[in-house]
Structure 1
Amino acid sequence: MPSSARSGSTQLRLQQVSLVSGIGSQCLLQDISCEILRGDRIALIGPSGAGKTSLLKLLNRLSEITQGQIYFGDREIRQIPVLQLRQQIMLVLQESKLLGMTVREALMYPLRLRGMECSQMQQRVEEWTERLHIPLEWLDRTELQLSVGQRQLVAIARAMVAQPEVLLLDEPTSALDAGRAAYVVSVLSDWAKSGQMTILMVNHQLELAEQFCTRVLYLQQGNLAQDLDAEKADWNDLKQTLIQAEAEIAKEWE
């Protein structure tokens, strides 16, 4: 854990978490231990193949750990029914699907699962489409009528409509233009600052990560190499470390 004082209760606790791929018995994550506090805004960074997406998938049981324990509050996550866990810990992947729904239906779907009244669902959808500047004409479109960037924005809106306790984002702005990406990250950051949500975000755009996060977890070769307070992090050094690591990976593929 970073050395500076951090407030808030522990929300997620990882104890010597490892993940081994079933194909070739490749170790994707090894002995990851850390605590995530309520309200943390974490930038999860590292070179390609470091295990960032694998770690996110473990936290809402899209994948299952091979060894170790992950606690959500005082419960080990494997003791929590998957549907219940994913309503509280939501993952937005880089390429999200609408599963044949219109945008409106997709935004309302997680609220229907919670049994929310129609008027409340409509109010929540209106609130977040307005906040994220999603045009009303998108609401009746299907997945095939949206660009990759538009689908990313809708996937983020769907998560924010659901308002989980923990939001996991895997390169959520990779297909957005720079201006919209910065705006979306600022909206997410403001919401987290209000104490409404804890966010872990994988993002190769370190400029956005620096503006967003309170904390940096740097993964390399499946290990947690650094756990830093964002205010004390040397972002230029992190950038150079990342560039060098990516270059070494590229050489291995030559």
Structure 2
Amino acid sequence: MREAKFELKDVTLKRPGRNAAGEITTAVILNRITTSFPRGEITAVLGPSGSGKSSLLRLLNRLEDPASGQIILDGDDLRDLDIFTLRRRVGMVWQLPTLFPGTVLENITYGPRLRGIAPAQARARAGELILMVGLATDLLERPADSLSIGQQQRVSLARTLANDPEVLLLDEPTSALDPTAAANILHLMVDLKSRLGLTLIFVTHILDQARQVADAILFIHHGEVVEAAPARGFFTAPRDPRSQLFLAGQLGG
């Protein structure tokens, strides 16, 4: 049995909303989710738009807390962990790269500098990381906003990796990229898993991406887990009729 990095036990997420009459109500975004994410593997989170995929990632980084249930990281309840420590251990990369004003070097060394790492050591680490994500070291002195979107996304990854995370959460990380840049990010994800042993959890709406890189699939619909399975089994013999409809492009939100 594969060891779990993250476990969710009966997790429900609610948010304020309004009904058709404009009255304030409560919307259930995720409903009694019980699942796990294997350590050292890539899990793709799939489902139609509005299923709660990105909301699930937000819970894993405590950008939101569930209304009920328990989220466990390596045996520890997320609520018992220091929030800053948690976000170093669990890094997040968004759809669009969110870089700070300043140089690429300043972006990548931001986290280490906050932790009191010596400037020379932080710079050396930045040089290693920019090479790891497939960029040249001469970009370190460039303004971050002068790079292409694909390059910025790699710098965003390097900045996250500078915190030495154990888990990477990626929310549609290739949605703003051209096909070549998207392929580079997917290759990098596989490389990070094999080289660093990272656990990666990524949301994508592109099934071919999940087929290419995922070890496991979590398929959710209307805020509920429909199927959690090894990727090969999910794509070749999905068990649930809703999974079958989704793979055939016939399942709406």
Is this contact kept in 2: 1:210–1:235, CA < 8 A?
no
Letter in 1 for 2:89: Q
Q: Choose which of 218, 226, 250 in structure 2 pairs with 1:244.
A: 250
CA 209–239 in structure 1, closer or farther in 2 if over 3 Å, else same: farther
Is this contact kept in 2: 1:88–1:166, CA < 8 A?
yes
Letter in 2 for 1:106: N
Instruction: Structure 2 unaligned segments of length 5 or more: list them.
Output: 19-25
Instruction: Structure 1 unaligned segments of length 5 or more: list them.
Output: 250-254
What pairs up with 1:103-252 in 2 under 5 angstroms? 103-136=104-137, 138-194=139-195, 196-234=197-235, 241=246, 243-245=249-251, 248-249=252-253
Aligned to 2:88: 87
CA distance in 1, matches of 2:232, 2:62: 31
Q: SS of 2:190's equivalent?
A: helix
Is this contact kept in 1: 2:101–2:145, CA < 8 A?
no
Letter in 1 for 2:43: I
CA distance in 2, matches of 1:150, 1:195: 21
Instruction: Give the structure with the larger helix fraction.
Output: 1
Letter in 2 for 1:15: K
What is the aligned-residue RMSD (CA, Å)? 2.2
Q: Which moved more, 1:192-201 or 1:134-143?
A: 134-143
Is this contact kept in 2: 1:125–1:161, CA < 8 A?
yes
Q: Which moved more, 1:143-152 or 1:102-111?
A: 143-152
The alpha carbon displacement at 1:117 in A equals 2.8
CA distance in 1, matches of 2:245, 2:187: 25
Letter in 2 for 1:169: L
Aligned to 1:19: 13
Is this contact kept in 1: 2:43–2:202, CA < 8 A?
yes
What pairs up with 1:2-81 in 2 under 5 angstroms? 5-6=1-2, 9-24=3-18, 25-81=26-82
The alpha carbon displacement at 1:33 in A equals 0.6
Q: SS of 2:219's equivalent?
A: strand
The alpha carbon displacement at 1:67 in A equals 0.9
CA distance in 2, matches of 1:182, 1:240: 27
Describe the superposition over 1:156-186 as per-residue Cα deviations: whole angstroms up to 9, x where unpaired: 2212233300110001111222223222212
Is this contact kept in 1: 2:96–2:176, CA < 8 A?
no
CA 235–116 in structure 1, closer or farther in 2 if over 3 Å, else same: farther
TM-score normalised by L of structure 2: 0.86
